[in-house]
Amino acid sequence: MSDAEFKAAWKHGQERPDMERMLVAASDHLRKEGHALAWTAPFDMEQPKRIDAFWNRLKEAVGADLGRSALAIVGFEEPDPHWSCVIGIAPSTVRLFDSSIYKRIRRSDTTLGASAPSERWVIKPDDALIVRRVA
């Protein structure tokens, strides 16, 4: 990604293809340092229909390494569109590593779809990526 592309993405936000290009750049950098990075899109084949299924399937797909050698990058739409790193999923909360003020959100404050019925966080399942450090 060029400097101009990065500045445009920073100003106008990023979509999944932008996020994947950033992951390629991070992977290339880490490879030079003797490390490896891999990622998958867990909902490309079959998207969940309910938010509880989204969080449960995401936790299962990441596995026990969540927050250690793996994390999930999730694109939140409304009410504050941005990408965030999920480092923990509990029955009622989701722990985030986020560049803004968000550290934890309640699962009940999230929903799937194009728009939120209230102030709930809207998530599009195809904007979820699992990132792992590979030995």
**What's this model's pTM, rounded to 2 decimal places?**
0.83
- Region at 13 (left for phi over 0; alpha for psi -120 to 50; beta for the rest): left
Q: How far is CA 78 from CA 13, 26, 37, 82, 109, in A?
A: 13, 27, 29, 9, 11
Domains held by the chain: number: 1
Asked, for residue 16, whether it belongs to a domain, the answer is no
Asked, for residue 85, whether it belongs to a domain, the answer is yes
- pLDDT exceeds 60 at position 11: no
- pLDDT exceeds 60 at position 12: no
- pLDDT exceeds 80 at position 135: no
Asked, for residue 27, whether it belongs to a domain, the answer is no
Res. 1 pLDDT band, cuts 50 70 90: low
Residue-range definition of the domain harbouring residue 122: 36-134
Averaged pLDDT for residues 27-42: 91
Residue 72 burial (C-beta neighbours within 10 Å; 0-12, 13-18, 19+): buried
